Amino acid sequence: MKILVINGPNLNMLGKRDKAQYSARTYAELLDMISKKADEMKVTVDFYQSNHEGAIIDRLQLAMEDGTDAIIINAGAYTHYSYAIHDALEIINMPKIEVHISNIYEREAFRAHSVITEVCSHSIVGEGFEGYLHAMEVIKEALGE
């Protein structure tokens, strides 16, 4: 099984961002944590991070052709307004799990709306880095692995 983990704008700045919302852990620590879980689950994980909307869309489209079986996406700020990412996710026919480190529903009003939730199979919010691991378990169950 191959899982694509996409992280949007500013997630590469984990460890430098608001520690009350995102913890002091770094982006490298997040990738290491996911990689260890992937090894335990005996799955392959590809990571992609971009601060550019079009690049994220290009990577989503590539996922339909490169053997990807499922997607975990934290679209960052694009979550709240990118109908282009919404549309790219909508055409992809595989499990797609939306993840947010913080609980977007308990933050600023503009963060409480996700335009991608309706085109994702599942949404996980407010579980910190562990939300990504939870998403991996959800995918494993969804694919019957």
96-117: pLDDT as tens digits: 999 999 998 888 888 788 999 9
d(CA 101, CA 27): 12
Q: Can you give the pLDDT at residue 44? A: 97
**What angle do helix axes 83-90 and 53-63 make, rounded to 10 degrees?**
0
Q: Can you give the pLDDT at residue 110? A: 81
pLDDT tens by residue, 58-68? 999 999 999 99
Q: Can you give the pLDDT at residue 21? A: 72
Q: Among 22, 27, 78, 132, which one carries the catalytic annotation?
A: 22
Q: What is the mean pLDDT of residues 6-30?
A: 88
* pLDDT band, residue 28 (cuts 50/70/90): very high
d(CA 145, CA 143): 6
Residue 95 has pLDDT above 90, yes or no: yes
Residue 37 has pLDDT above 80, yes or no: yes
Residue 145 has pLDDT above 90, yes or no: no
Asked if 22 is an active-site residue, the reply is yes
Q: Taking a C-beta distance cutoff of 8 angstroms, is the pair 101, 20 a contact?
A: no
15-31 burial, b for 16+ CB within 10 Å, e for fewer?
A: eebeeeebbebebeebb
Q: What is the mean pLDDT of residues 12-17?
A: 88
pTM: 0.94
Asked if 122 is an active-site residue, the reply is no
Q: Can you give the pLDDT at residue 39? A: 98
Nearest CA among 69, 68, 130 for reference residue 99: 130
Q: Can you give the pLDDT at residue 112? A: 83
Average pLDDT, the chain: 94
Q: Among 48, 78, 86, 100, which one carries the catalytic annotation?
A: 100
* pLDDT band, residue 20 (cuts 50/70/90): confident
d(CA 2, CA 111): 30
